């Protein structure tokens, strides 16, 4: 039961900010996890101070990847891009609060990968580290 704590199941079954892509969007990025086919498309809008004011995402995948996207979507609202650049693997792990094997870690980090891709563009992705 540890692995599927109540709030992960809850986010997985009732994802927050799930819906059609925002248009226009300041952040708009999609990607997938090739080994399992999990897919995520994330859009967000900034307010005039450069803080995230709205988030919408769609995706398909396991409870871990969906819950991670749902939690991350909530967590980024009100943050500046500079603050989002600080988000890392540990941010996600702390949010989920469960131990993850390397394979499931990829599920969990897909949301972060898409967020960072939306901020930096994937080719400018700063390190290998963050991707995996």
Partner 1 sequence: MTEPITYPLDIAAIRADFPILDQEVHPGKRLVFLDSAASSQKPRQVIEAMRRYYERDHANVHRGIHALSERATAAYEGAREKVRAFINARSVREIIFTRNATESINLVAQSWGRANLRPGDVVVLSEMEHHSNIVPWQILAEQIGFRLRYIPITDDGLLDLDAYAALLRDEPVKLVSVMHVSNVLGTVNPVREMAAQAHAAGALFMVDGAQSVPHLSVDVQALDMDFLAFSGHKMAGPTGIGVLYGKRALLEVMPPFLGGGEMIKKVTLEGSTWNDLPHKFEAGTPAIAQAVGLGAAVDYLSALGMDNILAHEKIVVDYALDRLSEIPGLKVYGPGPEHRNGVAAFTLQDVHAHDIAQLLDAEGVAVRAGHHCAMPLHKRLGVVATARASFYVYNMRDEVDALVEAIYNARRVFRLGG
Q: Would you call 23 helix, strand, or coil by DSSP?
A: coil
Whole-angstrom distance, CA of residue 35 vs CA of residue 13: 23
Asked if residue 126 has a cis previous peptide bond (ω within 30° of 0), the answer is no
| Residues in 113-132 at the binding interface with partner 1, rule: CB under 8 A | 128
Q: How far is the CB of 3 from partner 1 (least distance, A)?
A: 6
Q: Which of 64, 69, 110, 119 binds partner 1 (CB under 8 A)?
A: 64
Whole-angstrom distance, CA of residue 87 vs CA of residue 52: 14
Q: How far is the CB of 23 from partner 1 (least distance, A)?
A: 25
Whole-angstrom distance, CA of residue 80 vs CA of residue 17: 18
| Residues in 32-61 at the binding interface with partner 1, rule: CB under 8 A | 32, 34-38, 60-61
Whole-angstrom distance, CA of residue 19 vs CA of residue 33: 20
Answer yes or no whether residue 3 interacts with partner 1 by CB under 8 A. yes
Q: Which of 23, 86, 90, 102 binds partner 1 (CB under 8 A)?
A: 102
**Which residues of the chain form contacts with partner 1 (CB under 8 A)?**
1, 3-4, 9, 12-13, 32, 34-38, 60-64, 101-104, 107, 128
């Amino acid at each position: 039961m540890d692995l599927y704590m109540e709030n992960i199941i809850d986010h997985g079954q009732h994802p927050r900010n799930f819906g059609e892509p925002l248009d226009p969007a300041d952040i708009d990025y999609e990607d997938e996890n090739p080994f399992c086919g999990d897919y995520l498309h994330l859009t967000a809008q900034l307010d005039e101070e450069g803080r995230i004011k709205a988030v919408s995402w769609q995706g398909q995948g396991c409870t871990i990847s969906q819950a991670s996207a749902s939690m991350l979507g909530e967590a980024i609202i009100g943050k500046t891009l500079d603050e989002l650049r600080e988000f890392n693997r540990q941010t996600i792990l702390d949010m989920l609060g469960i131990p993850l094997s390397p394979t499931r870690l990829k599920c969990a980090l897909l949301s972060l990968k898409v967020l960072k891709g939306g901020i930096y563009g994937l080719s400018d992705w700063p390190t290998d580290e963050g991707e995996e």
